[in-house]
Amino acid sequence: MISQPRSWLLLTACGLTGLAGLGGCDESETPDAAGVQLIIGRTGFGPREFSYPRAAVLDRRGRLYVVDKAARIQCFTLEGEFVLGWRTPEWEAGKPTGLGVGPDGRVYAADTHYSRVVMFEPDGTLVGQFGTRGRGPGEFLLPTDVAVDVEGFVYVAEYGGNDRVSRFSPDLRYEFSFGRPGAGPGELQRPQSLLVDHDGTLWVADACNHRVCHFERDGGFIDAFGESGTGLGQMRFPYGIDQLSDGTLIVVEYGNNRLQRFDRAGRSLGTWGGPGRRPGELAYPWALAAGPQDRVFVVDSGNNRIQVVTVFKPGIWDTRRPAPVLAVR
């Protein structure tokens, strides 16, 4: 990096001679160029460090919770300052892959390999857990995500043979479930992320069917959009979904290493990102969380960081049909 006075001097020199490109004049790409406002974290096991983060959720107070593959849940402010962190009760068999937060601020973790949901107070105190391994009502195989609606109803998605969404009452009594393994209407193949819409309906990132499904609160199937591919409107393994203030949906694609924005009818409004290590690029992204002022917190798992994107910055959405990437960068 060229320090400020040096750059100034150099620019003066360039101006004097009228010669462009005397070296050092090319401006390096700043994070802001792709709408990345902030990058939180780096590789490691300390505070504000991640080892393959896989889920994130924002609460109403503006606290961001992130869980990584070291089974650590870390809490940050919206500006990325570390607040506190804790570990899930057990992690030998596997680590959580989904987080949800209730209207009361309670944090729910989909403890995937323990076939259960564990709950914490915002200060990290373990409150309890529910669910056991099985295929029966209220049981789970591999739970992936938890979403809680404004009334406190808890929705849990799972895969591994069940591939469904189960609903629990605010006092955590099992109510019903919907979806079954398959690619037909109302069927799911690894529902990886849940979103309760502003209107109370439910959106599901149906990862292995490469689509997004829309359900009523009672589990009634409304519609689905998306197909496998790299083009606009196509998806590869959508792993995370959230909603922006204008009602549009934003999806993170694990397979395409990008974000894609859709209107509620499923029309693509553009893509953002691509495989890479630089700001504005993603590696195996697992999740996202939309925050105030339409800042989206993207869990850039393979890069061990959270990228905060101001999604309404003009010009950052690519609405062209992207050419397939043939080589790994």
Partner 1 sequence: MNVLAYVRFETPGYLALLATIPLLAVLSLRSLAGLGRARRVLAIVLRCLVVIVGVLALAGSQRTRPIGDLSVVFLLDRSKSVPEDLQRQAFEYVKRASAERGLDDRIGLIAFDGGADVEQLPMAALAVDQVSEPADPDQTNLAAAARMALALLPADTVNRLVLVTDGNENAGDVLAEAERLAAAGVPIDVLPLQYEHTNEVLVEELKAPPTATADETVNLRLSLRSQRATTGKVLLWHNDVLVDLNEEQPGTGFSVELVPGPNPLVIPVPLRVAGAHRFRAQFVPDRSDDDAIEDNNTGQAFTVVTGQGKVLILSTTRDLEGDQPSAEILRQALEREKLVCDVEVAGRTPLDQVRLLEYALVILSNVPAGDLRDDEKTALAVYVRDLGGGLAMVGGDDSFGAGGWLGSAVEEVMPVSFDIKHKKQFLKGALALVMHACEIEKGNYIGERCAIEAVKTLSSRDLVAVLAWRWISDQQGYFVVPLQEVGTRTPVINAIKKMDMGDLPDLDAIMRPGVQALLARKDVGPKHMIVISDFDPSPPRRDLIATMKDGGVTCSTIAIGYGGHPIDEQMARWIAESTAGRFYTTRDFSKLPQIFIKESREVRRSLVQESPFTPQLVNPLSPVVPGLAGEALPALHGFVLTTPKPLADVPLIRRSEEGDDPVLAHWQVGLGKTVAFTSGLWPRWGAEWVAWPKFSKLWAQAARWASRPSEAAAFDVTTNVHGGKAKLRIDALDKNADAINFMKVSGVLVTPGQETRPLRLTQTGPGRYEAEFEARERGNYIVNLGYRVGQGADAVSGALRTGLSVAYSPEYSQLQPNLALLEEVRARTRGRTLAGTDFAAPFERSGLPRAEAHRAIWENLVQWLLALFLLDVAVRRVALDPRVLYRKARRFLAEIAGRERPAGEAAAVLSTLKGARDRVREERLAARGPAGEPGRPPSSARYEAATPEAKATDDLSRALGGAAPDDKPVVARPTGKKPVQSEGDYTARLLRAKRRAREDREKKDER
Nearer to partner 1, 114 or 168 (CB): 114
SS3 sequence of the chain: CCCHHHHHHHHHHHHHHCCCCCCCCCCCCCHHHHCEEEEECEECCCCCEECCEEEEEECCCCEEEEEECCCEEEEEECCCCEEEEEECCCCCCCCCCEEEECCCCCEEEEEHHHCEEEEECCCCCEEEEECCECCCCCCECEEEEEEECCCCCEEEEEECCCCEEEEECCCCCEEEEECCECCCCCCECCEEEEEECCCCCEEEEEHHHCEEEEECCCCCEEEEECEECCCCCEECCEEEEEECCCCCEEEEECCCCEEEEECCCCCEEEEEECECCCCCCECCCCEEEECHHHEEEEEEHHHCEEEEEECCCCCCCECCCCCCCCCCC
Smallest distance from the beta carbon of 74 to partner 1, in angstroms? 12
Smallest distance from the beta carbon of 324 to partner 1, in angstroms? 4
The contact set with partner 1 (CB under 8 A) reads 2-3, 6, 9-10, 12-13, 16-17, 22-24, 44-47, 49, 70, 92-94, 113, 142, 159-161, 163, 183, 189-190, 192, 207-208, 230, 236-237, 239, 254-257, 274-275, 283-284, 302, 324-328
Smallest distance from the beta carbon of 260 to partner 1, in angstroms? 13
Smallest distance from the beta carbon of 237 to partner 1, in angstroms? 5
Nearer to partner 1, 207 or 252 (CB): 207
Nearer to partner 1, 112 or 166 (CB): 112
Nearer to partner 1, 20 or 326 (CB): 326
Nearer to partner 1, 44 or 136 (CB): 44
Smallest distance from the beta carbon of 241 to partner 1, in angstroms? 15
